[in-house]
Amino acid sequence: MPTDTLIVERHGQVALITLNRPQARNALNAELSAAFCEAVAAAQDARCIVVTGADPAFCAGLDLRELGAERLGEFPRYDKAIEASDVPLIAAVNGPAVTGGFEIALGCDFIVASERAAFADTHVRVGVYPGPVLVDLPRRVGMARAREMSMTGNFLDAQTALRIGLVNHLKRHEDLLPFALDLAQAIADVDPRMIRAMRADWNASMGPPIEAARAIHARHAAESGFDQRRAGDIAGRRDAVMARSRAQRGAGQT
């Protein structure tokens, strides 16, 4: 569903969903989270979905300054919307993808990125327990790299993300969206029944181990104590994280 904070475009059988809160680095407030979930559900008649952000960021995660008295668990579950999609999703990461934004990118079938992209799991520094999609991170980057990313909150630059297999393709910034739409069209051109069957096979190949890991994650998330923390305190930590990220990326840390 298009809103001021979310843009939905159709390119034939491809749906393009753009997170559109550039002034907040596309951080997810309740309105944007709900609109994203509705847009993914409404695009199930498409054959491929591309998710991107309005420059300069892909998504900075939850907008904790707008969290107020709401509880994190009451936010519309963007990760569940992605997981429930029968239509493949491509993340076209045009800038920093942080915390919840990183979860959105990870939840997609694969990631393409511009040279301005950066990736970080900063949950441990902000003080919010990560969503279940990060259980899949070791399968994407290896256990040791996943542990380093999640335990340090350090940023991963686009070149490193490509080298370790987190990103499938790295493009010049101005070429990213046309390339992502071309990839999506290549998927849209084939039999959607075969795509659905293959995605089901791949998901099944992860099998009981991933389900057990997600069950453990759910227990830890419930015990994480977010409800006892003030959103303002966590928002302050996020500001410190963003300042740290600017320093890291300026220094070229990988």
Assign residue 238 the CATH number of its domain.
Answer: 3.90.226.10
Query: Is 155 within the bounds of a domain?
Result: yes
> What integer pLDDT is reported at residue 136 of this predicted model?
84
Domain residue limits at 145: 6-251
Expressed in angstroms, the distance from the first to the final Cα of the chain is 37
Query: Is 208 within the bounds of a domain?
Result: yes
Residue by residue, pLDDT tens for the chain (254 residues) are: 557 999 999 999 999 999 999 999 999 998 999 999 999 999 999 999 999 999 999 999 988 777 644 555 567 789 999 999 999 999 999 999 999 999 999 999 999 999 999 999 998 888 777 877 678 898 899 999 999 999 999 999 999 999 999 999 999 999 999 999 999 999 999 999 999 999 999 888 775 565 655 565 566 566 655 544 555 566 666 667 667 767 776 666 55
β-sheet with 169-171: strand ranges across: 6-11, 14-19, 48-53, 89-93, 110-114, 169-171
Q: What is the pTM of this model?
A: 0.86
Query: Is 196 within the bounds of a domain?
Result: yes
Query: Is 63 within the bounds of a domain?
Result: yes
> What integer pLDDT is reported at residue 249 of this predicted model?
66
Query: Is 1 within the bounds of a domain?
Result: no
> What integer pLDDT is reported at residue 1 of this predicted model?
52
Query: Is 198 within the bounds of a domain?
Result: yes
> What integer pLDDT is reported at residue 42 of this predicted model?
98
Query: Is 162 within the bounds of a domain?
Result: yes
Domain count, the chain: 1
Neighbours of 148 (CB within 10 A): 15
Query: Is 235 within the bounds of a domain?
Result: yes
